[in-house]
Amino acid sequence: MVTPAGIRGPQPNPNAATTPDLLTLHHTGQLVRHYPAVRGLLADLSGEQLTRAGRLLARLDPDEILTSHPDTPTLTVAVVGHGTLGGLVAPLTAQLARHGILARVRLGDFDSYVPDLADPASALYAARPDLVLCVLDPEVIWDEVPVPWRPADVEQVWAEKLALLESLVRQFEGAGHGTLVLNTIPLPRLYPAQLIDHASRARLAALWREANARLLRLGEHHPALVVLDVDPLLGEGLPVRDSRMSVYAKAHLSAGLLDAYATEIGPLACALIGRIRKVLALDLDGTLWGGILGDDGAEGIDVGPGFRRFQQVLRQLGAQGVLLAAVSKNDVEPVRGVLTDHPDMVLRESDLVRVIANWHPKHENLRHLAADLNLGVDSIVFVDDSPYERGLVRHEEPHVAVVALDEEPARHVEALLADGWFDVRLLTDEDAERPARYRAEAERRDFLHSFDSLEGYLRELGVQVLLEPAAQAQIPRIAQITLRTNQFNLTGERLQPAAVAALAQDPNALVLGIRAADRFGDNGLSGAVLAHRADGAIHIDNFLLSCRVFARGIEQACLSAVLRHARDTGADAVLARYRETPKNGKVRDFYPRSGFVPVDAPAAAGLVFRHDLAEIPAVPAHVRLTAQFAGDTAPVPADTARVRAGEEKA
Amino acid sequence: MNSVDDLVTIVRDEIGLPITPADAGLPLAELIGWDSVHLLALCVILERETAQTISLPAVLEAETLQAIYEVAVGAGIH
């Protein structure tokens, strides 16, 4: 019979037992009231259990949840395709909820993807979805292949479909909002098996793969498009289809494949709304090596093939900008000894941005780690083999993502990669440099402690700033800054690369990148000012600065430059907007402190400020600023050239 | 599954619809929150619960929960 155990949430700590399970909340009509607890209740579920939970959650009215919990991040997701796709709604709802995102799922009509995407006046576009999942199944092709058929018939249908899909992608981009997801189309065995000669089967297999490869390459030319490759999902042993569901209900993809598809969409949704995980905090004993360092000593721990493979994957993530940190209950000296000298270790201290080894509770260490890196705890993914430590962290810091490892190190890699915790749309040059920049930040801090005053420190820091229009190659990085930056983000608005590219083309818009460097090195492209000219004024639409570099005068210098540019080019004022988000409270006074005055009462769109350009605040004395705007041809000073050269090298 | 009430419990707990045993004879379209998509999920759940293969076309043609129940429990003699 039906047992509620499958959707009972984890209760790792006796104190957490006061949270009722999901089914109880559903029965008692309290799911909306307790919606913030749902994420924790889903944390350890997968597969069928998660889909069960998703069916209950999909019944909730998103507006009711938002009325009770207005800060819940929300994403409108449209699902369209060729076959019956209702089976995707529950896993999709559950996966987004697992990542803390409330999904408004809009399911398109059966086989309506062509009119939905081709017609700018369609109900799909009217709903302004943030994410459109156009789910392609094998019958997209096979429904149009004649019987009997030869591989050449399939090739012709594919060619027509690829042309159609590309035109739909163009239509979608023309509509100017959101991200479109297509997927590669799997080839179930029942089709090649209908060909009795191996030569024809090979030809079918080759043309099918070539067509999927062309589909994948569409993403290279269309910034609003993501093409998801389903082959790696099927490689894990999932069936492509369920014959009865396909024949009788036109549901052409298996429930398992739809679950796996939804799992891939969760991290993409996080990336779209700027909820990006940045730090991977690693336990050591049982996680990076086997045994207990404190008991077994450096020579007694096991750094066998399973652990080494895991460490290789950690280095691979670190090389792409994930900040790796050790958080361990150990004395620090033996830990440093292993990281430096153990002959079998792959991961070294230089791969880690911080090594925290002490006897404090781990949730406290994670809080300190976040504060030290100037990031929120919600940017941390914590990995540990100990159920006790995981339970404690989950209970004390529910915004930390917790990954469970077991006693078999050969499974560590799969456990870590099961969710794309660190997935981003595009990697930029900055990403590879990030860990080194965070390590340099620790050196900066030590340097700061050697000064009596902040002014003395800043003077010796030698801050150089270059403010100039973003070049084409920097557009992905500017988009990434809007997506990753939470604290120094005056409006919280996120822009996808396609939106930044459109702004950069607009002659009335200013898309300015902020680059900074100091005696400890190059901070790279670290911020942006987005503005436009209208009605004789410059309007600052957003002002962003990486948390690594603010409070060093860089923001005041750039704002001063924008004000001066406005005055020099005949503007009569600069208008700027601040919209409060859960994380940007510390910049609430940024504009008023620089001579702006409020012009409107607070509204949903935020506070609007105006600067009359009569008295422009000076660039802080310790900052060497070079500001260039479109059309300026002033020579770039030697210092600035160095900043730029470092940037290009990075 | 011993009675249609068990099927009603499944629909309440797994699909999430707020129905009672009194609704078992209603046309499916009149159940609060019903969607034809739920029928597919229900088929999978019923096969799991009864550990038997159920005729999908027969479930898709059923017009009430009572009729679905009869298809499901009759599966053994199909």
Query: What pLDDT is attached to residue A549?
Result: 81
Please give the pLDDT value at position A445.
74
pLDDT tier at A17, thresholds 50, 70, 90: very low
Mean pLDDT of all residues in B9-35 = 91
A424–chain B nearest CA distance, Å: 33
Of A328, A394, A367, nearest in space to A12 by CA: A394
Q: Does any CB of chain B come closer than 8 Å to the CB of residue A532?
A: no
Please provide the distance, in angstroms rounded to a whole number, between the alpha carbons at the two ends of chain A: 60
Residue A13's alpha-carbon distances to A36, A42, A388, A398, A628, in angstroms, are 18, 16, 8, 12, 56
User: Residue A380: its pLDDT value, please?
Assistant: 98
Weakest mean pLDDT among A23-27, A342-346, A540-544, A610-614: A23-27
What is the per-residue pLDDT across A182-223, written as a single tens digit (0 to 9) for each? 999 999 999 999 999 999 999 999 999 999 999 999 999 999
Question: Closest Cα partner for B10 from A284, A234, A23?
Answer: A23
What CA–CA distance (Å, rounded) separates A20 from A36? Answer: 13
Asked if B16 and A87 come within 8 Å (Cβ–Cβ), the reply is no
Q: Does A86 touch chain B (CB under 8 A)?
A: yes
Rg (CA), chain A: 27
Confirm or reject contact between B61 and chain A (CB < 8 A): no
What residues of B are in contact with residue A87 (Cβ under 8 Å)?
37, 40-41
Q: Is the pLDDT reported for residue A638 higher than 60?
A: no
Residue A349 is classified by DSSP as: G
Cβ contacts (< 8 Å) between B41 and chain A: which residues?
55, 87, 90
Q: What's the pLDDT score for residue B76?
A: 46
Distance CA A370, CA B73 (A): 57
Question: Which of A1, A55, A245 lies at the smallest CB-CB distance from B15?
Answer: A55
Closest partner residue to A245 among B14, B16, B40, by Cβ?
Answer: B40
Residue A10 has pLDDT above 70, yes or no: no
Residue A59 has pLDDT above 70, yes or no: yes
Mark which residues 102-131 of A lie under 8 Å from B by CB: 107
Mean pLDDT of A365-386: 94
The pLDDT assigned to A4 comes to 37
Q: What is the rounded average pLDDT for all residues in chain A? A: 90
Whether residue A413 is predicted with pLDDT greater than 60 in this model: the reply is yes
Confidence of residue A582 (pLDDT cuts 50, 70, 90): confident
Least confident piece of the model among A259-268, A295-304, A427-436: A427-436
SS3 state of residue A78: strand
Identify the weakest region by mean pLDDT among A133-147, A433-447, A610-624.
A433-447
Q: What is the pLDDT of residue A268?
A: 96
Report the gap between the CA of B27 and the closest CA in chain A (Å): 20
At A559 the pLDDT is 95
Per-residue pLDDT for A5 more than 60?
A: no
Looking at residue A631, its pLDDT comes to: 59
Q: What is residue A644's predicted lDDT score, i.e. its pLDDT?
A: 54
Pairing of strands A623-627, A607-611: unpaired
- Full-model pTM: 0.79
Q: What does the pLDDT average to over A574-599?
A: 91
Rounded-to-10 torsion of CA A94, A98, A102, A108: -30
DSSP B21-74: GGGGGS-GGGSTT--HHHHHHHHHHHHHHHTS---HHHHHH--SHHHHHHHHHG
Please spell the DSSP secondary structure of A125-184, one letter per residue.
HHT--SEEEEE--THHHHTTS-SS--HHHHHHHHHHHHHHHHHHHHHHHHHT-SEEEEE-
A2/B10 touch (CB, cutoff 8 Å), yes or no: yes
DSSP A193-245: GG--SHHHHHHHHHHHHHHHHHHHHHHHH-TTEEEE--HHHHTTT--S--HHH
Mean pLDDT across A401-408:
96
* Residue B9: Cβ-neighbour burial (10 angstroms; 0-12, 13-18, 19+): middle
Amino acid letter, residue A162: L
pLDDT at A574: 96
Contacts from A639-642 at CB under 8 Å and sequence distance 24+?
A: A639/A464, A640/A464, A640/A466, A642/A464, A642/A517
- Strand pairing report for A607-611 and A102-107: unpaired
Select from B10, B16, B41 the Cβ nearest to the Cβ of A87: B41
**Does A86 contact B15 at a Cβ distance shorter than 8 Å?**
no
| Complex confidence, ipTM | 0.88
